[in-house]
Amino acid sequence: MRRVLSVLAAIVLSIPALAGELAGVTMPDSVAAGDATLVLNGMGLRKKAIFKVYVGALYLPAKSGDAAAVITLDAPKRMVMHFLRDVDGTAVADAWKEGFANNSAAKLPALQQRLDTFASLWSDVKTGDEVTMTYVPAVGLKLAIRGKEVGLIQGKDFADAVMACWLGDKPPSEDLKKGVLGR
């Protein structure tokens, strides 16, 4: 019996752990970001009216439910957006501008040029597409669409403002914010 339990335990431990599933989207429990390994902090669903738009997944060096601490964390972090429907690139860019206005209005004059560049990098996204935004200290925020890096925006202040779009006082949805914070 002991041998059977040992074999079963070895089989279970050899299966890759999948930490999260939401709206039919499964995210891994950890990801590599440069030299760092980030853990899944949480997942949330972005809805617009009655439509499911994307599943967001936040990856951090260690789990945290403190929105302000996550925004200002000067360590690698990643947000993944897994789209559940087709979205026009212009609509995505407009949503970013609204998110910055809602959550970083006082800082917008210093961020505007970089926000315009960031918004211009977005193309149409299709159902099933994944977009990642990875902040690397002293490098900046890397934007990848469908696995291809499309741009790098420098400045921790910019990366903080991007995170504030989800975690600030006026997120696109409280459910999304709570989800990515692991609540």
Residue-wise pLDDT for 17-38, tens only, equals 456 899 999 999 999 998 899 9
Reading the block at residue 115, the tokens are 């926000």
Which token pair is 123?
A: 């193309």
Residue 13: predicted pLDDT: 38
pLDDT score for 19: 61
Instruction: Tell me how far apart the alpha carbons of residues 12 and 17 are, in angstroms, rounded to a whole number.
Output: 9
Residue pair 81/131 in contact (Cβ under 8 Å)? The answer is: yes
Q: What is the pTM of this model?
A: 0.88
CATH classification for the domain delimited by 18-180, as one of 3.30.420.10, 3.40.50.720, 3.50.70.10, 3.40.50.150: 3.50.70.10
Question: What separation in angstroms does the CA of 136 have from each of 35, 99, 140, 173?
Answer: 10, 21, 5, 26
What are 153's strand-pairing partners?
Answer: 141
